Structure 1
Protein backbone atom coordinates (compact mmCIF):
# COMPACT_ATOMS: atom_id res chain seq x y z
CA UNK A 1 0.00 0.00 0.00
CA UNK A 2 3.01 2.35 -0.33
CA UNK A 3 1.50 4.29 -3.20
CA UNK A 4 -1.92 4.56 -1.55
CA UNK A 5 -1.00 6.57 1.54
CA UNK A 6 0.21 9.57 -0.42
CA UNK A 7 -2.21 9.16 -3.31
CA UNK A 8 -5.19 8.91 -0.99
CA UNK A 9 -4.24 12.06 0.90
CA UNK A 10 -3.90 13.98 -2.35
CA UNK A 11 -7.16 12.95 -3.95
CA UNK A 12 -9.34 12.69 -0.86
CA UNK A 13 -9.01 16.44 -0.30
CA UNK A 14 -10.57 17.06 -3.72
CA UNK A 15 -13.41 14.62 -3.16
CA UNK A 16 -14.23 15.77 0.37
CA UNK A 17 -14.87 19.33 -0.82
CA UNK A 18 -17.82 18.10 -2.88
CA UNK A 19 -19.08 16.01 0.01
CA UNK A 20 -18.95 18.96 2.42
CA UNK A 21 -20.51 21.38 -0.07
CA UNK A 22 -23.39 19.20 -1.31
CA UNK A 23 -23.59 16.45 1.37
CA UNK A 24 -22.99 13.93 -1.44
CA UNK A 25 -20.31 13.36 -4.05
CA UNK A 26 -19.80 11.25 -7.16
CA UNK A 27 -16.55 9.81 -8.50
CA UNK A 28 -16.61 8.22 -11.93
CA UNK A 29 -15.06 4.84 -12.59
CA UNK A 30 -12.04 6.05 -14.53
CA UNK A 31 -11.07 8.45 -11.74
CA UNK A 32 -11.56 5.81 -9.05
CA UNK A 33 -9.41 3.36 -10.97
CA UNK A 34 -6.70 5.91 -11.74
CA UNK A 35 -6.60 7.55 -8.31
CA UNK A 36 -6.37 4.23 -6.48
CA UNK A 37 -4.27 2.41 -9.08
CA UNK A 38 -6.72 -0.48 -9.43
CA UNK A 39 -5.94 -2.96 -12.19
CA UNK A 40 -8.43 -4.54 -14.57
CA UNK A 41 -7.47 -7.96 -13.18
CA UNK A 42 -8.27 -6.79 -9.65
CA UNK A 43 -11.68 -5.58 -10.82
CA UNK A 44 -12.47 -8.89 -12.54
CA UNK A 45 -11.40 -10.90 -9.50
CA UNK A 46 -13.51 -8.70 -7.22
CA UNK A 47 -16.54 -9.06 -9.50
CA UNK A 48 -16.32 -12.84 -9.17
CA UNK A 49 -17.07 -12.55 -5.45
CA UNK A 50 -20.65 -11.59 -6.31
CA UNK A 51 -21.20 -15.07 -7.75
CA UNK A 52 -20.81 -16.34 -4.17
CA UNK A 53 -23.63 -14.28 -2.67
CA UNK A 54 -26.61 -16.12 -1.18
CA UNK A 55 -30.35 -15.49 -1.16
CA UNK A 56 -31.67 -12.87 1.26
CA UNK A 57 -34.37 -14.76 3.14
CA UNK A 58 -35.55 -11.81 5.24
CA UNK A 59 -37.35 -9.80 2.59
CA UNK A 60 -40.52 -8.30 4.03
CA UNK A 61 -42.05 -8.05 0.56
CA UNK A 62 -41.48 -11.75 -0.13
CA UNK A 63 -39.11 -10.97 -2.99
CA UNK A 64 -36.49 -13.48 -4.13
CA UNK A 65 -34.51 -10.98 -6.20
CA UNK A 66 -31.81 -10.04 -3.65
CA UNK A 67 -28.60 -11.93 -2.89
CA UNK A 68 -26.07 -10.72 -0.35
CA UNK A 69 -23.50 -11.36 2.36
CA UNK A 70 -22.53 -9.23 5.33
CA UNK A 71 -19.62 -8.35 7.60
CA UNK A 72 -18.04 -5.59 9.66
CA UNK A 73 -14.56 -4.09 9.79
CA UNK A 74 -12.91 -1.83 12.32
CA UNK A 75 -10.44 0.90 11.35
CA UNK A 76 -8.62 2.78 14.09
CA UNK A 77 -7.64 6.41 13.72
CA UNK A 78 -4.24 7.15 12.21
CA UNK A 79 -3.90 3.54 11.09
CA UNK A 80 -4.24 1.73 7.78
CA UNK A 81 -4.95 -1.61 9.46
CA UNK A 82 -8.42 -3.10 9.02
CA UNK A 83 -9.74 -5.60 11.56
CA UNK A 84 -12.57 -8.03 10.84
CA UNK A 85 -15.28 -8.22 13.50
CA UNK A 86 -16.53 -11.55 14.73
CA UNK A 87 -19.44 -12.46 12.48
CA UNK A 88 -22.89 -11.67 13.80
CA UNK A 89 -26.37 -10.61 12.71
CA UNK A 90 -27.24 -7.38 10.96
CA UNK A 91 -29.70 -5.36 13.03
CA UNK A 92 -31.57 -2.19 12.06
CA UNK A 93 -34.39 -0.61 13.99
CA UNK A 94 -37.84 -0.68 12.44
CA UNK A 95 -37.75 3.12 12.56
CA UNK A 96 -34.85 3.15 10.09
CA UNK A 97 -36.07 0.21 7.99
CA UNK A 98 -39.82 -0.29 8.18
CA UNK A 99 -39.74 -3.20 5.72
CA UNK A 100 -36.96 -5.38 7.10
CA UNK A 101 -35.92 -3.74 10.38
CA UNK A 102 -36.61 -4.78 13.95
CA UNK A 103 -35.26 -8.32 13.55
CA UNK A 104 -31.79 -9.84 13.73
CA UNK A 105 -30.91 -10.91 10.19
CA UNK A 106 -28.31 -13.66 9.88
CA UNK A 107 -26.56 -13.39 6.52
CA UNK A 108 -23.68 -15.53 5.35
CA UNK A 109 -20.24 -14.05 6.14
CA UNK A 110 -17.99 -12.34 3.64
CA UNK A 111 -15.68 -14.68 1.74
CA UNK A 112 -11.91 -14.72 2.07
CA UNK A 113 -11.54 -13.73 -1.60
CA UNK A 114 -13.72 -10.68 -0.99
CA UNK A 115 -11.88 -9.60 2.16
CA UNK A 116 -8.45 -10.06 0.60
CA UNK A 117 -9.24 -7.99 -2.49
CA UNK A 118 -6.96 -4.99 -3.04
CA UNK A 119 -10.03 -3.21 -4.46
CA UNK A 120 -11.78 -3.44 -1.09
CA UNK A 121 -8.73 -2.30 0.87
CA UNK A 122 -8.05 0.69 -1.36
CA UNK A 123 -11.68 1.82 -1.38
CA UNK A 124 -11.95 1.54 2.42
CA UNK A 125 -8.75 3.49 3.03
CA UNK A 126 -9.77 6.14 0.52
CA UNK A 127 -13.21 6.59 2.06
CA UNK A 128 -11.86 6.74 5.60
CA UNK A 129 -9.46 9.49 4.55
CA UNK A 130 -12.29 11.39 2.83
CA UNK A 131 -14.56 11.10 5.85
CA UNK A 132 -11.83 12.04 8.31
CA UNK A 133 -11.15 15.14 6.20
CA UNK A 134 -14.87 15.95 6.03
CA UNK A 135 -15.29 15.71 9.82
CA UNK A 136 -12.05 17.60 10.45
CA UNK A 137 -10.47 14.87 12.59
CA UNK A 138 -9.22 11.30 12.54
CA UNK A 139 -11.88 8.86 13.69
CA UNK A 140 -12.23 5.27 14.80
CA UNK A 141 -14.60 3.79 12.22
CA UNK A 142 -17.02 0.91 12.26
CA UNK A 143 -17.48 -0.22 8.66
CA UNK A 144 -20.40 -2.40 7.57
CA UNK A 145 -20.04 -4.11 4.21
CA UNK A 146 -23.08 -5.09 2.15
CA UNK A 147 -22.37 -6.74 -1.22
CA UNK A 148 -25.69 -6.98 -3.07
CA UNK A 149 -26.83 -8.69 -6.24
CA UNK A 150 -30.27 -7.61 -7.47
CA UNK A 151 -31.86 -9.87 -10.07
CA UNK A 152 -34.54 -9.07 -12.63
CA UNK A 153 -36.48 -11.43 -14.87
CA UNK A 154 -39.80 -11.86 -16.63
CA UNK A 155 -41.57 -12.59 -13.32
CA UNK A 156 -40.38 -9.68 -11.20
CA UNK A 157 -38.34 -6.50 -11.34
CA UNK A 158 -35.48 -6.11 -8.92
CA UNK A 159 -35.68 -3.53 -6.13
CA UNK A 160 -32.28 -2.25 -4.94
CA UNK A 161 -33.99 -0.34 -2.10
CA UNK A 162 -37.25 -2.16 -1.38
CA UNK A 163 -37.76 -0.02 1.74
CA UNK A 164 -38.07 3.09 -0.47
CA UNK A 165 -36.57 6.48 0.33
CA UNK A 166 -34.58 6.08 3.54
CA UNK A 167 -31.44 6.67 5.54
CA UNK A 168 -29.36 3.93 7.13
CA UNK A 169 -28.67 5.35 10.56
CA UNK A 170 -24.92 5.69 10.00
CA UNK A 171 -22.46 8.56 9.52
CA UNK A 172 -21.68 8.14 5.82
CA UNK A 173 -23.04 5.77 3.19
CA UNK A 174 -21.37 4.82 -0.10
CA UNK A 175 -22.34 2.71 -3.10
CA UNK A 176 -19.69 1.25 -5.38
CA UNK A 177 -20.86 -0.14 -8.72
CA UNK A 178 -19.46 -3.62 -9.37
CA UNK A 179 -21.31 -4.79 -12.48
CA UNK A 180 -24.47 -4.40 -14.54
CA UNK A 181 -25.60 -7.26 -16.76
CA UNK A 182 -28.58 -6.99 -19.12
CA UNK A 183 -30.52 -4.46 -17.05
CA UNK A 184 -31.98 -1.00 -17.31
CA UNK A 185 -32.99 1.31 -14.48
CA UNK A 186 -31.30 1.45 -11.10
CA UNK A 187 -31.01 5.23 -10.78
CA UNK A 188 -29.72 6.49 -7.44
CA UNK A 189 -31.76 9.38 -6.04
CA UNK A 190 -30.46 11.54 -3.21
CA UNK A 191 -32.77 13.95 -1.40
CA UNK A 192 -32.56 16.35 1.49
CA UNK A 193 -34.35 15.59 4.74
CA UNK A 194 -37.55 17.02 3.28
CA UNK A 195 -37.52 14.54 0.37
CA UNK A 196 -36.54 17.23 -2.13
CA UNK A 197 -34.34 15.73 -4.84
CA UNK A 198 -30.74 16.94 -4.75
CA UNK A 199 -29.13 14.57 -7.23
CA UNK A 200 -29.89 11.68 -9.55
CA UNK A 201 -27.28 9.38 -11.05
CA UNK A 202 -27.32 5.96 -12.68
CA UNK A 203 -24.16 4.09 -11.74
CA UNK A 204 -23.08 2.31 -14.91
CA UNK A 205 -19.41 1.32 -14.91
CA UNK A 206 -17.50 -0.83 -12.43
CA UNK A 207 -16.00 1.49 -9.77
CA UNK A 208 -18.50 4.32 -10.25
CA UNK A 209 -18.78 5.59 -6.67
CA UNK A 210 -21.32 7.75 -4.89
CA UNK A 211 -21.20 8.79 -1.23
CA UNK A 212 -23.52 10.77 1.03
CA UNK A 213 -23.79 12.22 4.51
CA UNK A 214 -26.43 9.92 5.96
CA UNK A 215 -27.68 12.39 8.58
CA UNK A 216 -28.27 15.20 6.06
CA UNK A 217 -29.62 13.21 3.10
CA UNK A 218 -31.87 10.29 2.24
CA UNK A 219 -31.58 7.98 -0.73
CA UNK A 220 -33.29 5.35 -2.83
CA UNK A 221 -32.62 3.47 -6.06
CA UNK A 222 -35.22 2.88 -8.76
CA UNK A 223 -36.14 -0.68 -9.73
CA UNK A 224 -34.24 -2.58 -12.40
CA UNK A 225 -35.74 -4.41 -15.35
CA UNK A 226 -34.24 -7.05 -17.61
CA UNK A 227 -33.47 -5.78 -21.11
CA UNK A 228 -33.83 -9.32 -22.46
CA UNK A 229 -35.94 -11.36 -20.00
CA UNK A 230 -34.60 -14.73 -21.16
CA UNK A 231 -31.00 -13.80 -20.27
CA UNK A 232 -29.16 -13.36 -16.98
CA UNK A 233 -29.93 -9.91 -15.54
CA UNK A 234 -28.36 -8.44 -12.41
CA UNK A 235 -27.10 -5.29 -10.71
CA UNK A 236 -24.10 -5.88 -8.45
CA UNK A 237 -23.03 -3.20 -5.97
CA UNK A 238 -21.12 -2.88 -2.72
CA UNK A 239 -22.78 -0.66 -0.13
CA UNK A 240 -20.33 0.56 2.52
CA UNK A 241 -21.62 2.15 5.73
CA UNK A 242 -19.20 4.11 7.93
CA UNK A 243 -20.14 5.00 11.50
CA UNK A 244 -17.93 6.86 13.96
CA UNK A 245 -17.22 4.36 16.70
CA UNK A 246 -19.51 4.87 19.66
CA UNK A 247 -22.05 7.02 17.84
CA UNK A 248 -25.65 5.91 17.52
CA UNK A 249 -27.71 7.34 14.68
CA UNK A 250 -30.95 5.37 15.00
Structure 2
Protein backbone atom coordinates (compact mmCIF):
# COMPACT_ATOMS: atom_id res chain seq x y z
CA UNK A 1 0.00 0.00 0.00
CA UNK A 2 3.05 2.27 -0.10
CA UNK A 3 4.28 4.66 2.54
CA UNK A 4 0.89 5.00 4.21
CA UNK A 5 1.32 1.48 5.66
CA UNK A 6 -2.36 0.66 5.91
CA UNK A 7 -3.61 -2.61 7.27
CA UNK A 8 -6.09 -4.93 5.65
CA UNK A 9 -9.56 -3.58 5.00
CA UNK A 10 -12.13 -4.80 7.48
CA UNK A 11 -14.92 -4.56 4.93
CA UNK A 12 -15.16 -5.31 1.26
CA UNK A 13 -14.56 -2.57 -1.26
CA UNK A 14 -17.38 -1.78 -3.62
CA UNK A 15 -16.19 -0.89 -7.08
CA UNK A 16 -18.00 1.56 -9.33
CA UNK A 17 -17.57 2.80 -12.87
CA UNK A 18 -17.42 6.57 -12.51
CA UNK A 19 -15.10 8.77 -14.51
CA UNK A 20 -12.88 9.23 -11.47
CA UNK A 21 -9.47 7.63 -11.77
CA UNK A 22 -10.05 5.46 -8.74
CA UNK A 23 -13.72 4.70 -8.55
CA UNK A 24 -14.13 3.08 -5.14
CA UNK A 25 -17.36 3.91 -3.37
CA UNK A 26 -16.21 3.53 0.22
CA UNK A 27 -13.74 1.49 2.21
CA UNK A 28 -12.67 1.25 5.83
CA UNK A 29 -9.26 0.33 7.19
CA UNK A 30 -6.92 0.47 10.14
CA UNK A 31 -3.81 2.59 9.56
CA UNK A 32 -0.80 0.97 11.18
CA UNK A 33 2.58 2.32 12.23
CA UNK A 34 1.22 5.65 13.51
CA UNK A 35 2.11 7.01 16.92
CA UNK A 36 -1.19 8.56 17.92
CA UNK A 37 0.25 9.71 21.24
CA UNK A 38 2.49 12.09 19.27
CA UNK A 39 -0.52 13.56 17.46
CA UNK A 40 -3.02 13.86 20.33
CA UNK A 41 -1.45 16.89 22.10
CA UNK A 42 -2.00 19.07 19.02
CA UNK A 43 -5.77 18.83 19.48
CA UNK A 44 -5.55 20.58 22.86
CA UNK A 45 -4.61 23.93 21.30
CA UNK A 46 -7.16 24.18 18.50
CA UNK A 47 -8.94 27.54 18.13
CA UNK A 48 -12.72 27.56 18.39
CA UNK A 49 -14.62 27.31 15.11
CA UNK A 50 -16.18 30.81 14.89
CA UNK A 51 -18.76 29.79 12.28
CA UNK A 52 -20.64 27.31 14.50
CA UNK A 53 -22.73 28.47 17.46
CA UNK A 54 -22.12 26.97 20.86
CA UNK A 55 -18.31 27.03 21.11
CA UNK A 56 -18.16 23.24 21.13
CA UNK A 57 -16.14 22.74 17.92
CA UNK A 58 -12.46 23.58 17.47
CA UNK A 59 -10.63 23.55 14.17
CA UNK A 60 -7.56 24.17 12.03
CA UNK A 61 -7.17 23.74 8.28
CA UNK A 62 -4.29 23.52 5.80
CA UNK A 63 -3.81 22.25 2.27
CA UNK A 64 -1.02 20.19 0.76
CA UNK A 65 0.25 18.39 -2.29
CA UNK A 66 2.58 15.39 -2.21
CA UNK A 67 5.91 15.01 -4.00
CA UNK A 68 8.05 11.88 -3.61
CA UNK A 69 6.13 10.89 -0.47
CA UNK A 70 6.81 14.28 1.14
CA UNK A 71 4.16 16.85 2.03
CA UNK A 72 4.30 20.28 0.43
CA UNK A 73 2.27 22.87 2.32
CA UNK A 74 0.41 25.34 0.11
CA UNK A 75 -0.37 29.00 0.83
CA UNK A 76 -3.09 30.01 3.26
CA UNK A 77 -6.56 30.19 1.74
CA UNK A 78 -10.29 30.23 2.38
CA UNK A 79 -12.68 27.31 2.58
CA UNK A 80 -15.76 27.72 0.41
CA UNK A 81 -18.80 25.49 -0.10
CA UNK A 82 -22.08 26.45 -1.70
CA UNK A 83 -25.31 26.29 0.26
CA UNK A 84 -26.36 23.36 -1.89
CA UNK A 85 -23.68 21.32 -0.10
CA UNK A 86 -23.60 23.08 3.26
CA UNK A 87 -26.93 24.74 4.11
CA UNK A 88 -25.62 25.91 7.47
CA UNK A 89 -22.50 27.88 6.48
CA UNK A 90 -22.51 27.66 2.69
CA UNK A 91 -21.80 30.65 0.42
CA UNK A 92 -19.38 31.98 3.07
CA UNK A 93 -15.61 32.30 2.71
CA UNK A 94 -14.47 30.64 5.92
CA UNK A 95 -10.96 31.16 7.30
CA UNK A 96 -9.24 28.92 9.84
CA UNK A 97 -5.83 28.91 11.47
CA UNK A 98 -3.22 26.72 9.79
CA UNK A 99 -2.14 23.37 11.20
CA UNK A 100 0.70 23.56 13.71
CA UNK A 101 4.09 23.37 12.00
CA UNK A 102 5.33 20.86 14.59
CA UNK A 103 2.39 18.59 13.82
CA UNK A 104 3.16 18.75 10.10
CA UNK A 105 6.74 17.61 10.79
CA UNK A 106 5.61 14.39 12.48
CA UNK A 107 6.24 11.21 10.53
CA UNK A 108 2.93 9.82 11.78
CA UNK A 109 1.07 12.81 10.30
CA UNK A 110 2.82 12.29 6.96
CA UNK A 111 1.93 8.58 6.95
CA UNK A 112 -1.71 9.38 7.63
CA UNK A 113 -1.88 11.74 4.63
CA UNK A 114 -0.08 9.20 2.43
CA UNK A 115 -2.56 6.53 3.46
CA UNK A 116 -5.35 8.75 2.17
CA UNK A 117 -3.52 9.68 -1.04
CA UNK A 118 -2.39 6.12 -1.80
CA UNK A 119 -5.84 4.66 -1.18
CA UNK A 120 -7.54 7.21 -3.45
CA UNK A 121 -4.82 6.94 -6.11
CA UNK A 122 -4.65 10.71 -6.26
CA UNK A 123 -2.95 12.51 -9.09
CA UNK A 124 0.55 13.67 -7.99
CA UNK A 125 -0.52 17.32 -8.23
CA UNK A 126 -3.85 16.87 -6.45
CA UNK A 127 -4.56 19.22 -3.57
CA UNK A 128 -5.51 17.73 -0.21
CA UNK A 129 -7.35 19.77 2.40
CA UNK A 130 -6.73 18.61 5.97
CA UNK A 131 -9.22 19.66 8.64
CA UNK A 132 -8.13 19.05 12.23
CA UNK A 133 -11.33 19.02 14.30
CA UNK A 134 -12.16 18.55 17.97
CA UNK A 135 -15.82 18.25 18.99
CA UNK A 136 -16.45 18.71 22.70
CA UNK A 137 -19.44 17.93 24.86
CA UNK A 138 -20.49 18.41 28.46
CA UNK A 139 -23.50 17.28 30.53
CA UNK A 140 -25.26 20.54 29.61
CA UNK A 141 -23.95 20.99 26.07
CA UNK A 142 -23.86 18.07 23.65
CA UNK A 143 -21.54 18.29 20.64
CA UNK A 144 -22.58 17.93 17.01
CA UNK A 145 -19.80 16.80 14.64
CA UNK A 146 -22.06 17.42 11.62
CA UNK A 147 -24.34 20.37 12.42
CA UNK A 148 -25.23 20.70 8.72
CA UNK A 149 -26.96 17.29 8.84
CA UNK A 150 -26.71 14.54 6.22
CA UNK A 151 -24.62 16.03 3.43
CA UNK A 152 -21.96 15.86 0.75
CA UNK A 153 -18.88 18.07 0.91
CA UNK A 154 -18.76 18.90 -2.80
CA UNK A 155 -15.37 17.29 -3.39
CA UNK A 156 -14.24 13.98 -4.96
CA UNK A 157 -12.77 12.01 -2.07
CA UNK A 158 -13.18 12.24 1.70
CA UNK A 159 -11.17 10.55 4.42
CA UNK A 160 -12.14 10.56 8.10
CA UNK A 161 -9.28 9.52 10.36
CA UNK A 162 -10.06 9.01 14.05
CA UNK A 163 -7.39 10.14 16.52
CA UNK A 164 -9.13 9.95 19.90
CA UNK A 165 -12.42 9.45 21.74
CA UNK A 166 -12.42 10.51 25.37
CA UNK A 167 -15.44 10.21 27.67
CA UNK A 168 -18.04 10.23 24.91
CA UNK A 169 -21.04 8.31 23.72
CA UNK A 170 -22.25 8.66 20.13
CA UNK A 171 -20.20 10.00 17.28
CA UNK A 172 -21.21 7.17 14.95
CA UNK A 173 -20.45 7.82 11.29
CA UNK A 174 -23.14 6.99 8.70
CA UNK A 175 -23.12 6.80 4.91
CA UNK A 176 -26.28 7.19 2.83
CA UNK A 177 -27.27 6.76 -0.79
CA UNK A 178 -30.24 9.11 -0.26
CA UNK A 179 -31.18 11.43 2.61
CA UNK A 180 -34.48 9.75 3.36
CA UNK A 181 -33.13 6.21 3.28
CA UNK A 182 -31.48 4.21 6.05
CA UNK A 183 -27.66 4.34 6.19
CA UNK A 184 -25.80 1.72 4.16
CA UNK A 185 -22.85 1.96 6.55
CA UNK A 186 -22.64 2.88 10.20
CA UNK A 187 -19.67 2.62 12.53
CA UNK A 188 -18.06 4.25 15.52
CA UNK A 189 -14.58 5.11 14.24
CA UNK A 190 -11.97 4.18 16.83
CA UNK A 191 -8.47 5.71 17.11
CA UNK A 192 -6.30 4.76 14.14
CA UNK A 193 -9.21 3.91 11.84
CA UNK A 194 -9.73 5.57 8.46
CA UNK A 195 -12.94 5.72 6.45
CA UNK A 196 -12.56 6.60 2.75
CA UNK A 197 -15.61 7.82 0.85
CA UNK A 198 -16.38 8.72 -2.74
CA UNK A 199 -18.24 12.00 -2.20
CA UNK A 200 -20.07 11.65 -5.53
CA UNK A 201 -21.65 8.37 -4.43
CA UNK A 202 -22.53 8.92 -0.78
CA UNK A 203 -23.86 11.44 1.68
CA UNK A 204 -22.36 11.26 5.16
CA UNK A 205 -23.22 12.20 8.72
CA UNK A 206 -21.87 11.71 12.25
CA UNK A 207 -24.25 11.50 15.18
CA UNK A 208 -24.00 13.93 18.14
CA UNK A 209 -21.76 13.14 21.11
CA UNK A 210 -22.54 13.32 24.81
CA UNK A 211 -20.33 12.52 27.81
CA UNK A 212 -20.33 9.13 29.52
CA UNK A 213 -19.33 10.69 32.86
CA UNK A 214 -20.32 14.07 34.31
CA UNK A 215 -17.40 15.94 32.76
CA UNK A 216 -16.19 17.13 29.37
CA UNK A 217 -15.84 14.65 26.52
CA UNK A 218 -13.89 15.07 23.28
CA UNK A 219 -13.85 13.54 19.78
CA UNK A 220 -10.71 14.23 17.73
CA UNK A 221 -10.51 13.57 13.98
CA UNK A 222 -8.80 14.64 10.80
CA UNK A 223 -11.05 15.08 7.77
CA UNK A 224 -9.15 14.96 4.49
CA UNK A 225 -10.61 16.03 1.15
CA UNK A 226 -9.39 16.14 -2.41
CA UNK A 227 -9.82 18.58 -4.04
CA UNK A 228 -9.23 20.79 -1.03
CA UNK A 229 -12.15 23.26 -1.59
CA UNK A 230 -9.69 25.96 -0.51
CA UNK A 231 -8.88 28.98 -2.66
CA UNK A 232 -6.55 31.96 -2.28
Structure with the higher fraction of residues in strand conformation: 2
User: 1:49 maps to which residue?
Assistant: 42
Map 1:13-28 to 2 at 5 A: 18=13, 20=15, 23-28=25-30
User: 2:20 maps to which residue?
Assistant: none
Residue 105 of structure 1 deviates from its aligned partner by 1.3
* Inter-CA distance 210–53: structure 2 relative to 1 (3 Å threshold): same
CA offsets 1:160-207 (integer angstroms, 9 cap, x no match): 000000011111101111111111000000011455321000112x11
User: 1:71 maps to which residue?
Assistant: 62
Q: From 80, 83, 86, give the equivalent of 1:97.
A: 86
Q: What is the alpha-carbon root mean square deviation over aligned residues?
A: 2.5
Residue 88 of structure 1 deviates from its aligned partner by 1.9
* 2:227 corresponds to 1:238: no
C-alpha separation in 2, matches of 1:118 and 1:6: 11
How many residues end up aligned between the 2 structures?
221
Secondary structure of 2:110 counterpart: helix
1:12–1:130 Cα contact (<8 Å) kept: no
Structure 2: unaligned runs, 5 residues or longer:
17-23
C-alpha separation in 2, matches of 1:212 and 1:178: 18
* Inter-CA distance 43–210: structure 2 relative to 1 (3 Å threshold): same
Structure 1: unaligned runs, 5 residues or longer:
246-250
C-alpha separation in 1, matches of 2:222 and 2:3: 25
TM-score normalised by the chain length of structure 1: 0.80
